[in-house]
Amino acid sequence: MKPVFVKTHNYHAFHAALKSLNGRGAEECQLVVVDGEPGLGKTTILSRWASENGCIYLRAKTEWQSSWFIAELLDEARVTKPHRHEARFKAALQALGERALLAENSGRQFAVVIDEADHISGRQKVIETVRDLADLSGVPFVLVGMGKIRDNLTRFPQIASRVSGYVRFSTASQQDVEHFLSEKCEVPVAPCLAEFVRRCTGGYNREIKEALVAIERFGLRNAPADPDLGLTIREMAGQHLINDRKSGQPIRVPSNLGVVA
């Protein structure tokens, strides 16, 4: 598997949401919510984006409280933690402002990414602290989770109204799968096999990567008959591709076009 990052439609949707922050109508809309089922590449895309732009990346914990959150934020910003909560909040605001200024000068976009934000989306105190920091510092906060965030935020209309963009990560399209396979796979893959991969993986990135490994392992030992066309479904007939996400049963490449489980 080639170690390259592939920009799927989810990546572009995330970027569009961040761009929309710059053209927002209300100044206080500084929250972006990213959600989707596990295995759609949220963490991969966010970690890549955060490390590329020098953003602050925090992973929410089950027992996170407001003070713990600010302490972690200060640690990440390399600021000595004052004793009192009020002073910590001020220090966090200053640190965020300085980091945003630094990013602006170097032409990068700065934000605070909070992964696994489902843990905090139902906690009013923590979410209000996020809102205060976002409002007062002008730094965008990206909340990443698995689908509960949107529902939980509806309980806090003052927060929900500040969300400038919701990005729901969806399963890969046929075009995404073909692009993914052509960029990452060391063996050329024919469109018929790519279509089968999309169908049996349901478009989940995690499963597509699993299928890619199986295709590559087979293709490097049995070169495709037509290198221009790539490895076809007929050539891989009977080979184990992935395990089904729900049942755990192995899915093999069929000799006809039906899925053999």
Partner 1 sequence: MSGGAHQTALLYHLGRTCQTIDELRTTLEMNSRQISDAASGLIQRGFVERVEAGCFQLTAEGHTAVANGERITSGPNGPHKSQRSPRQNTLRQRAWSAMRIRRRFSIPDLITDTALGDERGAANNLQRYVRSLRKAQVIRCLPVRVPGTAPSSPGFPQYTLVHDLGPVAPTLRRNGLVLFDHNSGQEIGL
Q: Which of 87, 101, 220, 223 binds partner 1 (CB under 8 A)?
A: 220
> DSSP assignment, residue 222?
S
> Binding-site residue total for partner 1 (CB under 8 A)?
28
Q: Is 106 in the site for partner 1 (CB under 8 A)?
A: yes
- Give the Cα separation of 74 and 133 in Å (integer): 12
Q: Which of 7, 9, 15, 48 binds partner 1 (CB under 8 A)?
A: 48
* Residue 220 CB, nearest approach to partner 1 (Å): 6
Contacts 24+ apart (CB under 8 A), 19-25: 20/164, 20/165, 21/140, 21/164, 21/165, 24/164
Asked if 118 and 59 touch (Cβ cutoff 8 Å), the reply is no
- Give the Cα separation of 11 and 170 in Å (integer): 11
User: Closer CB to partner 1, residue 216 or residue 235?
Assistant: 216
User: Closer CB to partner 1, residue 3 or residue 238?
Assistant: 3
Q: Which residues contact 15 (CB under 8 A, 6 or more apart)?
A: none
Question: In the window 109-148, what residues touch partner 1 (CB under 8 A)?
Answer: 115
**Cα 71 vs. chain centroid, distance in angstroms?**
25
- Give the Cα separation of 261 and 258 in Å (integer): 10
* Residue 42 CB, nearest approach to partner 1 (Å): 12
Q: Is 57 in the site for partner 1 (CB under 8 A)?
A: yes
Q: 37: buried, middle or exposed (CB in 10 Å: 19+, 13-18, 0-12)?
A: middle
Asked if 72 and 116 touch (Cβ cutoff 8 Å), the reply is no
Q: Which of 7, 9, 15, 43 binds partner 1 (CB under 8 A)?
A: 43
> DSSP assignment, residue 231?
B
Q: Which of 22, 26, 78, 247 binds partner 1 (CB under 8 A)?
A: 78
Q: Which of 12, 51, 94, 101 binds partner 1 (CB under 8 A)?
A: 51
Torsion-angle region of residue 78: left (phi > 0), alpha (psi -120 to 50) or beta? left
- Give the Cα separation of 26 and 164 in Å (integer): 9
Q: Is 71 in the site for partner 1 (CB under 8 A)?
A: no
* Residue 101 CB, nearest approach to partner 1 (Å): 13
Q: Is 50 in the site for partner 1 (CB under 8 A)?
A: yes
Q: Which of 142, 216, 231, 232 binds partner 1 (CB under 8 A)?
A: 216
Q: Which of 20, 54, 71, 245 binds partner 1 (CB under 8 A)?
A: 54
The dihedrals phi and psi of 251, each to the nearest 5 degrees, come to -110, 125
Q: Is 243 in the site for partner 1 (CB under 8 A)?
A: no
User: Closer CB to partner 1, residue 20 or residue 53?
Assistant: 53
Q: Is 75 in the site for partner 1 (CB under 8 A)?
A: yes
Question: In the window 142-201, what residues touch partner 1 (CB under 8 A)?
Answer: 186
**Which residues here bind partner 1, judged by CB under 8 A?**
1, 3-5, 43-44, 47-48, 50-52, 54, 56-57, 59, 75-78, 106, 108, 115, 186, 213, 216-217, 220-221
